[in-house]
Chain A
Amino acid sequence: MRIALAVHAFPPHEHTGVEVHVAALARELARRGEEVHVFAPRRDPRTPEFALRREPRDGATIHWLTVHGGAGSAAEHLDRAGMQQAAAEFLDRVRPDVVHFHHALTLGISALEESTRRGIPTLYTAHDYSPICHRTVLARPDLERCLRVGDSRACARCDRAVSLLNGLSRFADWQAGVLPESLAAEEREALARVLAADPDPQDADPGLELRVGLDRRRLAAFRALDLVLAPTRFLRDRLIEGGLPAERVELSLYGIEVDLLARLAPSPWAGKGARQPLVFGFLGAASKHKGLHVLLEAFEAVKGRARLAIHADSSDRDHVQALKRRAQELGAQWHGAFLPRELPRVLSGIDVVVVPSLWWENAPFVIRESFAAHRPVIASATPALAESVRDGVDGLLAAPGDARALGALLERCLAEPELVARLARAVRPPRDLADLATELLERYRGLIARRAAAVSVAPGPGRGAPRAPVPDHVRPFAARVEALESLSLDELARRAGAGLPGLAADLGLESPPLGEADLTAAALDLLDDARREIRWRAGREQDLARHLESARGALALREAELSRAAQAQLAAQEALEREVAAHAEARAALAAAAQALEASVAEARRLAGALAAAQELDRRLGDELDALRAHSRNAERAAELALEQVRAEARRRAEAARLALEELTREHASLQAHARELEADARELEADAREAEALKAALARHGEWLEREAAAFAAHFGPGPERLRSEQDFLAAHQALQRFERELEWRRAEMRGAHSDGGRLWRALLARSSLGRRMGGWDGRP
């Protein structure tokens, strides 16, 4: 049977419990004639990442897979990029009948997936809680034990707590757990808050989403396994609680190489009368969750009366330093780490082994080794440890983390001299590795048979699985192909190589050209090819390095250029912004000016319109004025003509008046005769005459006024006053004048009427124009 054992680390690079156990198992299986291949990562800076190197060891072949550095993220912790391909390469090379994983740490779950995907019977021994807890130990970062199995929200809180603690730089390699007393009060509170509180369900929580996704994938990978083995019932129950199918999770107790330890001399305290100082011992990892600090506190109760031998170390350097200091204070012996081969010597110096773990410890190999060496064990009273240590029978149990209780048990061992001897006598040897190997081989065969019954003739999934049944005539050939598929690469090559000489003979070649020399030559050529490839690659790498260097230089120059350009750009931008602001202002001003201009243009247009209208009106008024002037001139001429006619008439009438006056003169002579007749009356009339004289004076004055008037009139209109020599003349003239005046008055009235008509038309025209206002003072005269 070709068996592949996959494990996260392997001796001599690592030699803690699981690694040493797998190495022993590989030896045992190989010893039984099985073909054993161990697939194990190691850090090897001399080889490239994922290089696969073979090394024969103790009958098995170790396939060392080079990994550089640890996981950088939670996702990488679960599945490291490139690991699936590396696992595929290993599986292609070995073509194992069965793959037995002992851990998925470092390998990642893609290695598990690759194995199950190929249909290879695949099983996994759970040495811790990895299938259901991404922290593997089912403990929170504050070292509180967790029982919220399968609750991704709780797991996400652990992620957040880890992030919080990673931020505290003083914890260099804190191994995913801190003692609360090592934290400041506010840090403790912050950690407690993170671990206690779920985020608001309304808030998106990318951390939770990531955790849920990773947990789902991890669970799916483990659920796809053919079988999961758990060394304790407690662990088995937790795995099932965490979602693994109950029918494929089975109990399988650890087995260890018992012989060497069984030959150890019993502790002096196992017999009667041994009264050397009792030696308590702690073996293993000095990580916090292993509880060595609790043991040291407990040891205070018995210091000076018992001894404590500590064979432990850890990369948690701060914690180890603190433990060492405390051990020194208490007088405990700090021996540090030991190699597996040194275990008998280590155990021979210890009477009682203490396992003070704080976590849900599973099935520590150290308990089995102690029992193999007939040493009783004091352990923490956790359910899984209670499956290994029978309290009061082959050991004692104390509440985990309770230094006082543990101290009381140490005290009891001293106070009850027969107790250690009684416990030691009751110790039963643990299961032997050979027994476990037998069980595993049976399991392997069962899984292989079950798988063989389940799979069709198809060599495996992912290789163009047919849709319809394979035709009968193809089946024998397909079966042969499948049989060859199951061979390892080495076996295939060996078979092919072995057949070539026979072929040469069959083909009738006189001297077969094949042989070791040819194969060696081919191998040497290949080696040369590989060397050339390496040289070429090295050269290429150097070229690339040079290119890289030159690119870096160019990049630096370019960066500087860009920086300068950016600064210039910034300055230009600022200037531009200023210019833009100025432009904006100018634009606003322009807009205002434009608005004003528009208003002006509108006003100008309006004025131009008005002016044109005024000019038109003016022109028309001018025309009308001219017409009126002409009319007026005509009227004046008519008036002058009429006046001339009136004057002629007046002259004619004055002539007539003169003639009448002459008539009157003659009449006056007659009248004088009559006067005389009237002389008598005259006297009578004398009084009247005086009166008349007064009237005459008045009239004379009036006559003078009239004369002046008449003179003025005559000076203007006709014969002068010189012509009015007599009163009669005067009266006649006066009457004529009155008539003339009336005539003149009539003429004037007629002129006025004419003027008035012209004036009315004139005023009407003026009223329709602004010119009228300007001509407002005009009284209508031409």
Chain B
Amino acid sequence: MKQAISIVIPALAADESLEQALGSLAPELQRRAAGDQVLLVDDSGTGAVARALGPWGPAVELLEMPRNSGFGRALGAGIAAARHGLVFAMNSDVRVRPGFAEPLLSALDGAPGERVFAAVPRILLRGEEGRVESLVSLRLEGGIARAAQPLLEEAHFRRADEAWLAQNRNVPFPIGGACLLRRELFLDLGGFDPAFEPFYLEDLDLGWRAWRAGWCTRYVGAAVVEHRHRATIGARVPEQVVLQAIERNRLLFTWKHLDDPVLLEEHLRQLARRTAEARAAGDRVFLAALCLALEDRGKGIAARRAESAPGRSGFARQCRDTDPF
């Protein structure tokens, strides 16, 4: 018997993207005939998505957020409300390709002795073959964590061949916009950390916490979806705000998870230097992000203290081990 999944889609509006997302899911669900659930989380805060669903209404279940809460909270609420133990988190600007679900389900079984928390499909940016968003790596750049997507860069994606892309491998975290994850574990981990609100890097943090709890994230090359990328946030939020959110969250993530005292001290030295350099070079983005992170560091630091005792350590090693490049 096929294993049913819940597909949770947070949405701000019932727009063309959402329509395409649902349009790509419908034949897959019909083909699978596994009793899958599609749970649409209306994050408009006004019921706008629910009202504008049109012909898709009967095919989906709705969860209305009482107010606009952001991707992390909406997805978290959807996962909590999902009927099935396996949840496919899906952005409203993602389109699945036929046969996306089965390889992901298989991958969750994992190799012997390996516990897989989440399986992330091959996410193609704008549907372009080779531009894979989900083959991610985590590195320290100037002492600050940076989640890299090398295949989005021209030089790399041209070199990646199909055999390599099709191969399953461990990655540091699942992309929140499209991944199959274990509902119970997600809830046990506490879902997304609100310290990263309003958006970005909450999935990195989640994947890292899962790793600390002994679970890994698997990239699955045979499962393919397409992503319009920032069609939801980029269309509504000024670029400057998005940039600041990313930069601040890099700092928060570093402060939360960097567990090597030597690296941490190096990080602080780098921060001091970067501050002086940014002052001289007029780099307002870094300085503002640092100010924001310093203001918000309380939650992250508290979480660090809470999580520092149990679980794994070895930030740098994990970065190395999960780097597909």
Query: Which residues of chain A have a CB within 8 Å of any CB of chain B?
Result: 89, 92-93, 457-460, 463-474, 477-478, 480-481, 484-485, 487, 489-490, 492-493, 495-497, 499-500, 502-504, 506-507, 509, 512-514, 518-519, 522-523, 525-526
Contacts and interface: CB of A to CB of B under 8 A. Distances in A.
Given A484-B292, A499-B291, A507-B301, 11 more contacts: A92-B282, A464-B234, A469-B236, A477-B241, A478-B241, A484-B288, A492-B287, A496-B278, A503-B255, A506-B301, A513-B265
B198 A474 contact: yes
A457 B265 CA distance: 37
B99 interface: no
A755 B207 CA distance: 143
Contact of A525 (B265, B273, B292, B301): B273
Contacts of B273: 518, 522, 525
A522 B272 contact: yes
A471 B237 contact: yes
20 contacts: A92-B282, A464-B240, A466-B238, A471-B198, A473-B73, A474-B236, A477-B197, A477-B241, A477-B244, A480-B295, A485-B284, A492-B288, A496-B275, A499-B291, A500-B271, A507-B304, A513-B272, A518-B273, A522-B273, A526-B276
A522 B301 CA distance: 26
- Nearest 4 pairs of A and B residues by beta carbon: A464-B239, A499-B294, A493-B279, A522-B276
A197 to B, nearest CB: 52
B69 A473 contact: yes
B238 A503 contact: no
Interface of B: 12-13, 45, 67-70, 73, 197-199, 234-242, 244-245, 255, 261, 264-265, 268-269, 271-273, 275-280, 282, 284, 287-288, 290-292, 294-295, 297, 301, 304
A460 to B, nearest CB: 8
The residue among B264, B292, B294, B304 with the most chain A CB atoms within 10 A of its own CB is B294
A457 B264 CA distance: 35
Nearest to B239: A464
Judged by DSSP, the binding face of A is: helix
Given A466-B236, A485-B288, A509 B268 contact: yes
A485 to B, nearest CB: 7
Given A477-B197, A523-B276, A470 B236 contact: yes
A464 B238 contact: yes
Contacts of A459: 238, 240-241
Judged by DSSP, the binding face of B is: helix
B284 A474 contact: no
A474 B70 contact: yes
Contacts of A469: 236
Given A478-B238, A513-B265, A519 B70 contact: no
B240 A473 contact: no
Contact of B241 (A481, A509, A513, A522): A481
B286 to A, nearest CB: 8
Contacts of B236: 466-471, 474
Given A473-B198, A484-B292, A499-B294, A507 B240 contact: no
A356 B143 CA distance: 70
Contacts of A503: 255, 268, 271, 294, 297
Contacts of A471: 12, 68, 70, 198, 236-237
B272 A518 contact: yes
A504 B268 contact: yes
B265 A496 contact: no
Given A470-B236, A478-B241, A518-B269, A492 B284 contact: yes
Contact of A506 (B234, B239, B297): B297
Given A471-B70, A485-B284, A480 B292 contact: yes
Contacts of A519: 272, 275-276
A518 B182 CA distance: 46
Nearest to B280: A526
A495 B197 contact: no
A464 B264 CA distance: 35
B233 to A, nearest CB: 8
A509 B265 contact: yes
B275 A489 contact: no
B149 to A, nearest CB: 20
Nearest to A461: B238
B265 A500 contact: no
B238 A465 contact: yes
B68 A496 contact: no
A581 to B, nearest CB: 62
A474 to B, nearest CB: 5
B235 A466 contact: yes
A489 B282 CA distance: 7
